[in-house]
Amino acid sequence: MRIHQATFIKSAVKPADYPPPELSEIAFAGRSNVGKSSLINVLVERKGLVRTSSTPGRTQLINFFTISGECPPLTLVDLPGYGYAKVPLEVKRQWGPMMERYLAGRETLRAVVLILDVRRIPSDEDLQMLDWLRAYRRRPVVVLTKCDKLTKNERAKQITQISLRLDLPREELVQFSALSKEGRDNVWKAILAALEE
Ligand code: GDP
């Protein structure tokens, strides 16, 4: 999948500030530091399109990007990571309502990529995110990232545990590494499948 153009559009907190709902939208969610920016940058083949978590300012907003190329024109949405220890309490309080307004109301949203660290058993916050997606009938695409950090055996064991905890078949968990780019095609495949539904 070649991406010819990838452009940052804007950051927003509330619906009035979202870009007009024109293109199909794919959002990305996950615990802060899970590798969300790295995944998006690999998908769009741009090293610095999405800033990594060393810049917490923008990471607490909803960031909209448009892309085009071999995929249909799309909006990618970088949702603020959760579990970020250094975020002020006031910002933390805004996080839930900001996410729920987006997930509940965004009419062009077609799928949410939920990113999990393959080395960790999903946290309560991860499960809450999955519950929200199910409650709002948003299709989850679950990506297990940092796969390069485990041996084949360790990876297989983790996938079994994660699949049990999420109550999802292991075939639905897409294995990925931003380092080796393993799984990039499969993440794209899952996104395109969601768009076709
Ligand atoms: P974000 O906060 O979810 O956007 O996470 P980042 O994309 O900034 O990644 C957090 C850290 O994990 C950075 O140091 C990345 O280099 C590292 N990282 C992200 N993805 C991978 C991966 O697939 N493999 C490895 N080994 N490191 C990764």
Reported as a single tens digit per residue, the pLDDT across 79-90 is 988 876 666 677
pLDDT value of residue 152: 95
More confident: 96 or 191: 191
- CA-based end-to-end distance of the chain: 20
For ligand 1, atom 6, which residue shows the shortest CA distance?
35
More confident: 21 or 95: 21
Nearest of 66, 82, 73, 79 to residue 12 by alpha carbon: 79
pLDDT value of residue 113: 98
Give the β-pairing of 74-78 and 24-30: parallel
Structure confidence at residue 47 as a pLDDT band (50, 70, 90): confident
Residue appearing with tokens 């909209």: 64
Structure confidence at residue 49 as a pLDDT band (50, 70, 90): confident
pLDDT value of residue 55: 52
| Average pLDDT value for residue range 43-59 | 68
pLDDT value of residue 85: 63
ipTM over 0.95? The verdict is yes
pLDDT value of residue 87: 67
pLDDT above 70: residue 103: yes
Q: 175 CB less than 6 Å from ligand 1? A: no
Choose one of 39, 51, 52, 118 to mutate for the ligand 1 pocket test, by most ligand atoms within 8 angstroms of C-beta: 52
**How is residue 152 written in tokens?**
């084949």
Which domains are seen in the chain, by residue range? 3-190 (3.40.50.300)
Question: Order of strands across the sheet with 24-30?
Answer: 3-12, 62-69, 74-78, 24-30, 109-117, 140-145, 173-175
For ligand 1, atom 27, which residue shows the shortest CA distance?
146
Query: For the whole model, what pTM was predicted?
Result: 0.94
Model confidence over 54-94: pLDDT tens digits?
555 556 789 999 999 988 899 999 998 887 666 667 777 78
Listed in sequence order, the residues at least 6 apart from 74 whose beta carbon sits closer than 8 Å to its beta carbon are 23, 24, 25, 26, 66, 67, 68, 195
More confident: 60 or 138: 138
CA-CA distances (angstroms) from residue 99 to 9, 26, 93? 19, 14, 11
For ligand 1, atom 15, which residue shows the shortest CA distance?
35
